[in-house]
Chains A and B, each alone.
Chain A
Amino acid sequence: MLKNRSLRFKLSAFILTGTILVAAVLFSYYYSVSRKLILESALTNARHLTMETVNSVENVFRSTAKIPENLVYVFETGVTDEKALYRFMETVVKNNTELFGSAIAFEPGAMVPGVERFAPYFYKNNGQIVYSNLSDPAYNYHLQDWYQIPKELNKPVWSEPYFDEGGGDIIMATYSVPFRWPNDGVNENKFRGIITIDISLVWLKQVFEELSIYETGYGFLLSQSGKFLVHPDPDNVMNASIFDIAELQQDEKLRELGRKMVRGQTGFMNIIEPVTGQEVYLCFAPFPSSGYSMGIVIPTAELFAGLTRLNRNVAIIAVLGLLALFGVISLISGRITEPIRRLSGATTLIGQGDFNAVLPKIDTNDEIGQLMRSFETMQIALAEYIENLKKTTADKEKIEGELRIAHDIQMSIIPRTFPPFPDRSDVDIYGILESAKAVGGDLYDFFLLDENRLGAAIGDVSGKGVPASLFMAVTRTLLRAKSMNMKNASPGKIVTSMDIDLCTENDASMFVTFFYFILNLKTGELEYCNAGHNPPFVLDEDGEITAIDTVHGFPLGVMEAEPYETGKIKIRPGTRIVLYTDGVTEAENEARELFKEKRLLETLKLMKDVQDPKEITLAVKKAVKEFTLEAEQSDDLTMLVINYLGGNYTSK
């Protein structure tokens, strides 16, 4: 994926990724720690707020509770006069503003013998203290919670909150204290009744409303049974319990919270607020005297609002910072890689052949500077090399040009029209001279000295190239000149004469192997002279093959020695004379084996009945090619085949 990206991109990507990772780790750590600290501090604050509220409410409950407790004390120590009791109660209700009313309810017959129900009750009504007796049989106070529960439990009890009897919306609670009639001497310490005070709980609502808990946090109050006494939703107040809400929401955690609260536990819990559906933290604690329990609800989002804001800012700063970092990295990596890019551009130019392309100047001594200097050295070396190569190529072209010239010379001076004497029936000739790449100095020639005599020669100049071809040209010119000047001279004489001329001023020691013969077409007499050349083969009319293996002396141009002699044979019509150069016998195949005379002879044997000199020539050529196959031709391949037909010369 990164493979095809630039160095600059990769550098930036790796550094940025690393930075983001480090930043993310740091941020996560910072965030979790901050969150923990905030939570701890919120917990502490919430606990303080809860305890403060509990204390202030408890003060009211406790001080109020003192009233009936004191009454009981007074009562138990001997206030038995009915009227004095009434007065005392009236005074208490009057003097304690927080009291709504107070009752003393007796067990059957406890106050007035024979009276089933006796319960004087003083309460406030429009600023007046009103007296009433709760003795209505239909009401049957003995079975009311405020009487029955403290009686059964034998201890003071704050009642479940209730709406006042007047049908108003005033939430009331009753504190009931059982008392005993201690001094009748018979029924000592027998339960005699209950003293109660009623107080309004309306003020509790205000206490909770004044709690300031973040933005939308709130406090609530549960009764002993989990019923809402104070709650922001008035529908819940004095109606639903926390367990009802939990049941409707199917929230087991909320139910668990309720259970902890009604059992008077203190704690801190993370729940889902049923109305908003938001996560909240909840701190709860009981009012020990009444058994009510309060809770403080802190929306998590608000608790961490500051942190969230901070996070957002940090995130913005981080993004901006990373962008800036990206810019800086991009700039720096751009600056670092810029010479490389320039070098890359320059080397591309060099690669395209512009060896003078200017390499960027680098002053630094770092890796890039070193790289640049290496490239400089390479560029210079490359330029030199290419310059040499050019020169070499030019030289080579020059040589090839020379070779072409040599080839042209060679080819221009040998007869190449076959059949050469189409009007003659007594002789047929075919020859080939196939130059190798390195042109050799082979030659063949034939001409009619007169009507009945045919002169023919084959030669091979030592060496190759232009000097060889020039030497060959000279040889051929000499042959023609001498033959024409000395028409009746034997081949030995002609050759001797040529040798003298060729030896003169021959510093390069060039020489030419040469075979020359003169054939009397009328008689079949053949005079020949061999100056160091490969012996030609003769295929006679019966197909027998013999070599003309007499050699009369050195090749021409070696040294002036004794005159060359002339050999003589007589051939009959149907005889074919095969002249060749070592380009045939020394043709080399890829295994560096030579074609050799043996193979030439084998080929000629196959041709023993073939008269056509062309066919014979091409058969040999074919055999050579099949032998050498792919190997490069190293020397000229030259053959001259004369088919002596004999008979009288007739002009066709």
Chain B
Amino acid sequence: MELKFYQENNATIIEIIGSLDTMTAPEYEKQMIEMIDGGSTVFIADCTQLDYISSSGLRVLLMTLKNISNKGGKFILFGMQEPVFEVFKICRFDNLFTIVADKSAALQSIA
């Protein structure tokens, strides 16, 4: 897995590349905590390159969501591939997270 961070329209965009599973989740968790502690509150996760997510991945996404929500921020996901979205659907996370189709929709939703 690889994470890329960049700022766009006051939001921190996170590109999640590869698979988010038991092995890679701790690294994601560590980096996200650093970003959140650094003061960022608005995050948009670019899931276009996220190939696979396991329950561990779901957990760290959930943790991010909770942390950001606690600080009054926003966490939006977009560009999710079908298999990954299936996993979200099974555990109803599609209802929990704000999931939009693309980046412009994501940016719009934070405006």
**Are A and B interaction partners?**
yes
A461, A464, A513, A553: residue with the most chain B Cβ atoms closer than 10 Å? A464
Taking CB atoms, residues of chain B closer than 8 Å to A553 are: 92
Instruction: Answer whether residue A425 sits at the interface, using C-beta atoms and an 8 A cutoff.
Output: no
A509 and B63 contacting across the interface, CB-CB below 8 Å: yes
A462 and B92 contacting across the interface, CB-CB below 8 Å: no
Taking CB atoms, residues of chain A closer than 8 Å to B60 are: 509
A534 and B90 contacting across the interface, CB-CB below 8 Å: yes
B63 and A463 contacting across the interface, CB-CB below 8 Å: no
Given contacts A461-B55, A509-B63, contact A555 B91 (CB under 8 A): yes
Nearest-neighbour CB distance to chain A for B91, whole angstroms, equals 3
> How many angstroms from the CA of A551 to the CA of B92 in the assembled complex?
8
B96 and A462 contacting across the interface, CB-CB below 8 Å: no
Interface membership of chain B positions 48-68, coded 1 if the CB is closer than 8 angstroms to chain A and 0 otherwise: 000000111011101100100
A532 and B92 contacting across the interface, CB-CB below 8 Å: yes
Taking CB atoms, residues of chain A closer than 8 Å to B21 are: 634
Instruction: Answer whether residue B80 sits at the interface, using C-beta atoms and an 8 A cutoff.
Output: no
Q: Which of A463, A508, A551 contacts B55 (CB 8 A)?
A: A463
Residues A486-524 near B (CB distance < 8 A):
508-511, 513
Taking CB atoms, residues of chain B closer than 8 Å to A513 are: 55, 90-91
Residues A543-571 near B (CB distance < 8 A):
551, 553-555, 558-559
A559 and B96 contacting across the interface, CB-CB below 8 Å: yes
Given contacts A513-B90, A551-B90, contact A462 B58 (CB under 8 A): yes
Instruction: Answer whether residue B45 sits at the interface, using C-beta atoms and an 8 A cutoff.
Output: no
Nearest-neighbour CB distance to chain A for B19, whole angstroms, equals 9
B91 and A532 contacting across the interface, CB-CB below 8 Å: yes
Nearest-neighbour CB distance to chain A for B29, whole angstroms, equals 9
Taking CB atoms, residues of chain B closer than 8 Å to A438 are: 22
Taking CB atoms, residues of chain B closer than 8 Å to A559 are: 66, 96
> How many angstroms from the CA of A635 to the CA of B56 in the assembled complex?
11
Instruction: Answer whether residue A428 sits at the interface, using C-beta atoms and an 8 A cutoff.
Output: no
Q: Is the interface of A mostly helix, strand, loop or mixed?
A: loop
Taking CB atoms, residues of chain A closer than 8 Å to B96 are: 554, 558-559
Residues B89-103 near A (CB distance < 8 A):
90-93, 95-96
Instruction: Answer whether residue B25 sits at the interface, using C-beta atoms and an 8 A cutoff.
Output: yes
> How many angstroms from the CA of A152 to the CA of B54 in the assembled complex?
145
Q: Which of A508, A554, A586 contacts B63 (CB 8 A)?
A: A508
A511 and B90 contacting across the interface, CB-CB below 8 Å: no
A510 and B54 contacting across the interface, CB-CB below 8 Å: no
Instruction: Answer whether residue A533 sits at the interface, using C-beta atoms and an 8 A cutoff.
Output: yes
How many inter-chain residue pairs (CB < 8 Å) link A and B?
63
B95 and A462 contacting across the interface, CB-CB below 8 Å: no
A558 and B62 contacting across the interface, CB-CB below 8 Å: yes
> How many angstroms from the CA of A203 to the CA of B36 in the assembled complex?
140
Taking CB atoms, residues of chain A closer than 8 Å to B63 are: 508-509
Q: Which of A509, A535, A554 contacts B95 (CB 8 A)?
A: A554
Interface membership of chain B positions 11-35, coded 1 if the CB is closer than 8 angstroms to chain A and 0 otherwise: 0000000000110010000000000
Taking CB atoms, residues of chain B closer than 8 Å to A426 are: none
How many chain A residues sit at the interface, stated as a range, is 20 to 34
B55 and A460 contacting across the interface, CB-CB below 8 Å: yes
A464 and B90 contacting across the interface, CB-CB below 8 Å: no
Taking CB atoms, residues of chain B closer than 8 Å to A464 are: 22, 56
Taking CB atoms, residues of chain A closer than 8 Å to B91 are: 511, 513, 531-533, 551, 554-555, 558
Nearest-neighbour CB distance to chain A for B57, whole angstroms, equals 8
> How many angstroms from the CA of A310 to the CA of B17 in the assembled complex?
93
Taking CB atoms, residues of chain B closer than 8 Å to A463 are: 22, 25, 55-56, 59
Taking CB atoms, residues of chain B closer than 8 Å to A558 are: 62, 91, 93, 96
Taking CB atoms, residues of chain B closer than 8 Å to A555 are: 91-92
Instruction: Answer whether residue A582 sits at the interface, using C-beta atoms and an 8 A cutoff.
Output: yes
B54 and A635 contacting across the interface, CB-CB below 8 Å: yes
Taking CB atoms, residues of chain B closer than 8 Å to A635 are: 22, 54
Nearest-neighbour CB distance to chain A for B90, whole angstroms, equals 6
A464, A509, A511, A554: residue with the most chain B Cβ atoms closer than 10 Å? A509
Taking CB atoms, residues of chain A closer than 8 Å to B22 are: 438, 463-464, 634-635
User: Across the two chains, which residue of chain B brings its CB closest to A586?
Assistant: B54
B92 and A554 contacting across the interface, CB-CB below 8 Å: yes
User: Across the two chains, which residue of chain B brings its CB closest to A438?
Assistant: B22
Taking CB atoms, residues of chain A closer than 8 Å to B90 are: 513, 532-535, 551
Taking CB atoms, residues of chain B closer than 8 Å to A508 are: 59, 63
> How many angstroms from the CA of A533 to the CA of B25 in the assembled complex?
20
Taking CB atoms, residues of chain B closer than 8 Å to A532 are: 90-93
User: Across the two chains, which residue of chain A brings its CB closest to B63?
Assistant: A509
Taking CB atoms, residues of chain B closer than 8 Å to A511 are: 58-59, 62, 91
> How many angstroms from the CA of A197 to the CA of B25 in the assembled complex?
144
Interface membership of chain A positions 419-452, coded 1 if the CB is closer than 8 angstroms to chain B and 0 otherwise: 0000000000000000000100000000000000
Nearest-neighbour CB distance to chain A for B86, whole angstroms, equals 10
Of the A-B pairs whose beta carbons lie under 8 Å apart in the complex, a sample of 12, sorted by A's number, is A438-B22, A462-B56, A462-B58, A463-B22, A463-B25, A463-B56, A508-B63, A509-B63, A513-B55, A532-B90, A554-B93, A559-B96
Residues of B with Cβ closer than 8 Å to A?
Answer: 21-22, 25, 54-56, 58-60, 62-63, 66, 90-93, 95-96
10 closest A-B pairs by CB: A532-B91, A509-B63, A462-B59, A462-B55, A509-B62, A464-B22, A463-B56, A555-B91, A554-B92, A463-B59
Known: A509-B66, A532-B93, A558-B93. 9 other contacts (CB 8 A): A462-B55, A463-B55, A463-B59, A464-B56, A509-B63, A554-B91, A559-B96, A634-B21, A635-B54
